[in-house]
Amino acid sequence: MIARLIEGTSRRGLVLLALLLAFLILIPFFVNDYLITVLILIFYFAFVGQAWNIMMGFAGQLSLGHALYVGLGAYTSAALYVHFGVGPWIGMLAAIPVAGALGAVIGFLAFRFGVSGVYFAILTIAFCEFARVGFDHFRWVGGSAGFFLPVAQYSVNDLWNLRGKPSMFYYVILGFTVAAFIICHLLLRSRMGYFWQAIREDEPAARALGINAFRYKMIAVVISAGMTSLAGVFFAFFYNNLFPEQVFHISRSIEMILAPIIGGVGTLFGPILGAVILTGLSETMHEILHLLGVDVPGAKAVFYGICLLVVIVALPDGVWPWLSRRLGLSERK
């Protein structure tokens, strides 16, 4: 497994990777809580971006409704915690099948009935909208008034219940991101990964070669949905409040696909790099606007939009493919 993990990566790349990881593990000892929160945001977006990338970047299926899976994961685990006292780690075991099952339903409907491309993207939006309206009327988890997890001032970290200080959340999401990276790396190099890429590039040709496109697209959706739901569990326990209007809003779905697109769709480092760029720039701009006293709602989103526009026009393949060529690192796409 280790051999497969490092295969195709240059020595220089490996050293850089090890240094980066060591740096990330040590960093909470040197920075304040604000910066840790920014880092949490970065890895949160890197993680969901990585999960979304399995569907779009690997198998070529554009989902614009991924907030659905985040929301399902968040609500499943939060409901278990609040109503039954079941902790988040068990909650994850419940969230993955819930999100995966719904992903399977959507995938089945879409792929069986030949819904593809833009139509597929709109179908995913439709289901996310269903969930938004549905949860608005779902009283058991608070409906439109919101659903809240009990909060207190924590002096000790309770990892089992995910109650504690930002640094604990940082290590959890860092762990998620690293795990997602390794899983994606292995998936991409697996037989199935090559099937996915064949489907992405030319589905009729892939099918002519005997690849069961329906089956592999289904697997991609289910894995992506299940992985995204983990981010939802994290979201619920980190923010402690859930509103259907926010969690399932289409802007959430768009927000989480920005990082992989800016970083590079279909690449492994793309989602991570994209998250660093976006969150870093947006926090910097937030500070600058704050200092200038022009801190208006919407300014940040305008900036997001401009970033997206610039990247899609100037570097349509994303920043990572360009950067890795510049740095002389090899990453085969």
Size of the site for other proteins (CB under 8 A): 43
Closest by CA position to 199, among listed 224, 182, 220, 183: 220
- Name the strand (E) or helix (H) holding 148: strand 147-148
| Smallest gap from residue 105 Cβ to other proteins (A) | 11
- Name the strand (E) or helix (H) holding 241: strand 241-242
CA distance 179 to 186: 11
Whichever of 8 and 117 has its CB closer to other proteins, that residue is 117
Whichever of 77 and 279 has its CB closer to other proteins, that residue is 279
Choose which of 304, 319, 320, 324 interacts with other proteins (CB under 8 A): 304
SS (H, E, C) 43-94: HHHHHHHHHHHHHHHHCCCCCCCCHHHHHHHHHHHHHHHHHHCCCHHHHHHH
Is 154 an interacting residue with respect to other proteins (CB under 8 A)? no
Interface mask toward other proteins for 23-62; x: CB under 8 A: ---------------------------------x-----x
Residue type, 287: E
Is 309 an interacting residue with respect to other proteins (CB under 8 A)? yes
Sign of the Cα torsion 311, 189, 73, 88 reads negative
Taking residue 108's Cβ as centre, other Cβ atoms within 10 Å add up to 13
* Residues between 201 and 260 with contacts to other proteins, criterion CB under 8 A: 250-251, 254, 257
Q: Which stretch binds other proteins (CB under 8 A): 28-36, 74-82, 94-102, 130-138?
A: 130-138
CA distance 102 to 104: 5
CA distance 54 to 221: 8
Is 289 an interacting residue with respect to other proteins (CB under 8 A)? no
Is 261 an interacting residue with respect to other proteins (CB under 8 A)? yes
Is 141 an interacting residue with respect to other proteins (CB under 8 A)? no
Q: Are 36 and 166 spatial neighbours (Cβ–Cβ below 8 Å)?
A: yes
Is 139 an interacting residue with respect to other proteins (CB under 8 A)? no
Is 316 an interacting residue with respect to other proteins (CB under 8 A)? yes
| Smallest gap from residue 47 Cβ to other proteins (A) | 20
Tell me, what DSSP letter sits at residue 28? Answer: G
Query: Would you call 147 helix, strand, or coil by DSSP?
Result: strand
Choose which of 178, 308, 323, 329 interacts with other proteins (CB under 8 A): 308
| Smallest gap from residue 114 Cβ to other proteins (A) | 7
Is 323 an interacting residue with respect to other proteins (CB under 8 A)? no
Choose which of 20, 25, 205, 301 interacts with other proteins (CB under 8 A): 301
Query: Would you call 104 helix, strand, or coil by DSSP?
Result: helix
* Residues between 64 and 93 with contacts to other proteins, criterion CB under 8 A: 64
Is 283 an interacting residue with respect to other proteins (CB under 8 A)? no
CA distance 121 to 302: 23
Whichever of 90 and 115 has its CB closer to other proteins, that residue is 115
Q: Are 74 and 242 spatial neighbours (Cβ–Cβ below 8 Å)?
A: yes
| Smallest gap from residue 254 Cβ to other proteins (A) | 6
Main-chain dihedrals φ then ψ at residue 294, nearest 5 degrees = -115, 45
List contacts with other proteins (CB under 8 A): 56, 62, 64, 109, 113-115, 117-119, 121-123, 125-127, 129-130, 133-134, 136-137, 144, 250-251, 254, 257, 261, 265, 296-299, 301-302, 304-306, 308-309, 312-313, 316
